[in-house]
Structure 1
Amino acid sequence: MASTAGIRNGDHQRTALLVVDMINPLDFEGGEALMPHAEAAARAIAALARRARGRGEPVVYVNDNFMRWQADFREIVATVRDGTRGSGLAGELAPVEGDYFVLKPKHSGFLATPLEILLEKLDVGRLVVTGVATDGCILATATDAHMREYAVQVPPDCVAAQSEARSRRAVELMRDSMGIDVRPSREAFAEG
């Protein structure tokens, strides 16, 4: 099993919370099945975001642009909050002043985005990756973070897929093949 320490972690002291695709209309095939799992994850992510902010650590929303190429993140939040299936998630996880935003065109938060540059500027060496879907965008983002030698944690209570089985398989894959830390969210941003 690979080490979870991450080479970057030695030089970079901060931990960032990545909130992946939780500002989401869930209007796609499978969105209805994802919804109850995403709601449970949203509650845990909201608590984790409060803890991260309280410690002065960055919270970065890494979100699909839903093919709205001329929209910025705040427009996407407003659109999702306006009567979509995912409006409750957007309300639960509303960004606050001081949070960061990266729009992504594909599954990984790193592919064709400025995420890596932002994390470098923020002195981040460790990532806590949360959001949806565990077996899609979370897996892709965590894999790319691992390949870039970040220390990565994916708390199982802060990710969701269309079924618990799909989410569990993806978490186990990340743990077993890349050595990604899969401790629960109560162990992220803990004192000490």
Structure 2
Amino acid sequence: MGAAGTAVVVIDMINTYEHEDADQLLPSVRASLPGILRVIERARADDSGIEVIYVNDNFGRWRSHHDEILSPALRGPHADLVEPIRPDDASLFVVKARHSIFYETPLEYLLGQHGIHRIVLCGQVTEQCVLYSALDAHIRHLDVTVPRDAVAHIHADLADAALRMMERNMGADVTDSRAEGLFG
């Protein structure tokens, strides 16, 4: 099938890390950052038109837009985790308020308009937003890929269980960011 009809969805990586559980999350974000960057770079270098879509929490700022979320993260104490994977001019950006990338966002419509049937999920948090997004993608009949080295967690045991659930219960392809068939 190939990479046509595929999008990389970067979940909640534009972040100041000024929230509960941030101290537990940060080591895993640092460890997964190379994998996330690899997925994004591979998608951007692919000539088959893989979309890179950032879906990010609005942090309760209901009038926010892309720059109002990105700028504080780039000025914050953990800008080193944001700068390498920041959206480029070709990236799409969707703001969310809850765990799932689909919940009350225009993402499903956007994917349909772009003919996307496969999503590669990377970002954070494996046992929360990534898991719920994979489930919502599954019930929308989208193919889901999750590179295990490109998702960050708060609790390693719950992340491992979440990845097993995505693979077993949702038919997700749980793989590695270096995998040859990452995009289909």
TM-score by length of 2: 0.92
Secondary structure of the corresponding residue to residue 154 of structure 1: strand
1:1-192 equivalence runs, <5 A: 13-55=4-46, 56-84=49-77, 86-187=78-179
With over 3 angstroms needed to count, the CA separation of the structure-2 counterparts of 1:191 and 1:156, relative to structure 1, is closer
8 A contact 1:159–1:167 mirrored in 2:
no
* Identical pairs, percent: 38
Give the aligned residue type for 1:49. I
Distance in 2 separating the partners of 1:161 and 1:140: 14
For the aligned residue pairs, the C-alpha RMSD in angstroms reads 1.9
With over 3 angstroms needed to count, the CA separation of the structure-2 counterparts of 1:188 and 1:72, relative to structure 1, is farther
List alignment gaps of at least 5 residues for structure 1: 1-8
TM-score by length of 1: 0.88
1:74-113 Cα deviation digits (max 9, x unpaired): 21010111124x3222112111110000000100000100
Distance in 2 separating the partners of 1:68 and 1:186: 36
- 1:41, distance to aligned residue in structure 2 (A): 1.5
1:119-164 Cα deviation digits (max 9, x unpaired): 1111111000111100110011111000000000111101111132
Distance in 1 separating the partners of 2:180 and 2:133: 18
With over 3 angstroms needed to count, the CA separation of the structure-2 counterparts of 1:26 and 1:147, relative to structure 1, is same
1:4 corresponds to: none
Distance in 2 separating the partners of 1:190 and 1:179: 15
Secondary structure of the corresponding residue to residue 10 of structure 2: strand
1:52-80 Cα deviation digits (max 9, x unpaired): 01113100000000001111012101011
Distance in 1 separating the partners of 2:10 and 2:60: 19
| Length, aligned pairs only | 181
